[in-house]
């Protein structure tokens, strides 16, 4: 059964897939947990389609169409195929999941958890989104011990605002989180300006040794929708429908304009 699932996802460019029993997962939102769930399928969705490092202040994930829409379309295709081939029920999630996806995918042995709290895929590095599909099919796969990175401290040293703690991230200090705030202090605005941040932050990813040999995503959608350079003129050119296709749209255009001015 697991091989059938992997083959279906492989056709979508998703090659790193694991599966564990649901009782090995940390349940974080029982309200949306399917009552008949017995197993969890975890996989990496690699999104980096270029190794270039633009200087416009936008994180790599913000250069592509919002991955939530991609996940919806992905589940529309793959879940139907899984049901037809195996007869079980399948439920797709991405971010808003009943389980802790990062811990679950680490238990599948597909990578390690970094000091910067990001999951590091063995093949694609940190430039991935995590997808999960819960099912009422039984899983006989064994569970791996959660592994962590080599703790080289490069991300800790590189973070301009000391947001990477001994355990986890201080979200109040993370530049990515600060860039998404509607109301910023003068000090926060200066931090963004000094570090050339408009939306999101890739600083800790850029210095991560695990990303040095990470390969480019085989998923064409991300390459086809990637914007090489984003500025005020580009934002101005987007009608509402186009603007909403990007991850930075969920708080409106004003916050983007304001952040560009900080530069």
What's the chain look like in SS3? CHHHHHHHHHCCCCCCEEEEEHHHCCECCHHHCCCCCCEEEEEEEECCCCCCCCCCCECHHHHCECHHHHHHHHHHHHHHHHHHHHCCCEEEECCCCCECHHHHHHHCCCEEECCCCCEEECCCECCEEEEEEEECCCCCCCCCCCCECCCCCHHHHHCCCCCECCCCECCCCCHHHHHCCCCCCHHHHHHHHHCCCCECCCHHHHCCHHHCCCCCCCCHHHHHHCCCCCCHHHHHHCCHHHHCCEHHHHHCHHHHHHHHHHC
Give pLDDT tens digits for 94-126: 989 999 999 999 999 999 999 999 999 999 999
Going by pLDDT thresholds of 50, 70 and 90, the confidence category of residue 61 is: very high
pLDDT at 185: 96
User: Across the chain, what does the average pLDDT equal?
Assistant: 95
The domain limits of the chain are: 2-135, 154-213+229-262
Per-residue pLDDT averaged across 172-185, rounded? 96
Judged against a pLDDT cut of 90, whether residue 167 lies above it is answered with: no
């Amino acid at each position: 059964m697991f091989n059938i699932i992997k083959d279906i996802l492989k056709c979508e460019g998703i090659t790193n897939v694991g599966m564990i029993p649901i009782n090995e997962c940390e349940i974080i939102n029982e309200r949306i947990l399917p009552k008949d769930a017995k197993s969890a399928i975890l996989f990496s969705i690699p999104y980096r389609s270029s190794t270039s490092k633009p200087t416009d202040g936008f994180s790599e994930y913000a250069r592509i169409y919002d991955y939530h829409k991609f996940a919806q379309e992905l589940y529309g295709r793959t879940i139907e195929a899984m049901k037809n081939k195996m007869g079980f029920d399948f439920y797709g999630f991405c971010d808003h999941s009943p389980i802790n996806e990062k811990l679950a995918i680490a238990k599948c042995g597909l990578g390690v958890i970094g000091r910067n709290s990001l999951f590091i895929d063995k093949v694609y590095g940190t430039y991935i989104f995590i997808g999960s599909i819960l099912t009422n099919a039984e899983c006989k796969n064994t569970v791996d011990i959660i592994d962590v990175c080599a703790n080289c401290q490069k991300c800790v040293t590189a973070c301009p605002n000391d947001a990477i703690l001994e355990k986890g991230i201080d979200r109040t200090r993370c530049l990515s989180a600060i860039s998404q705030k509607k109301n910023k202090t003068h000090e926060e605005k200066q931090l963004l300006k000094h570090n050339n941040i408009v939306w999101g932050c890739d600083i800790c990813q850029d210095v991560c040794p695990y990303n040095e040999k990470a390969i480019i995503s085989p998923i064409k959608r991300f390459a086809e929708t990637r914007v090489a350079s984003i500025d005020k003129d580009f934002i101005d050119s987007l009608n509402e429908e186009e603007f909403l296709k990007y991850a930075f749209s969920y708080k409106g255009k004003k916050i983007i304009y304001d952040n560009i001015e900080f530069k």
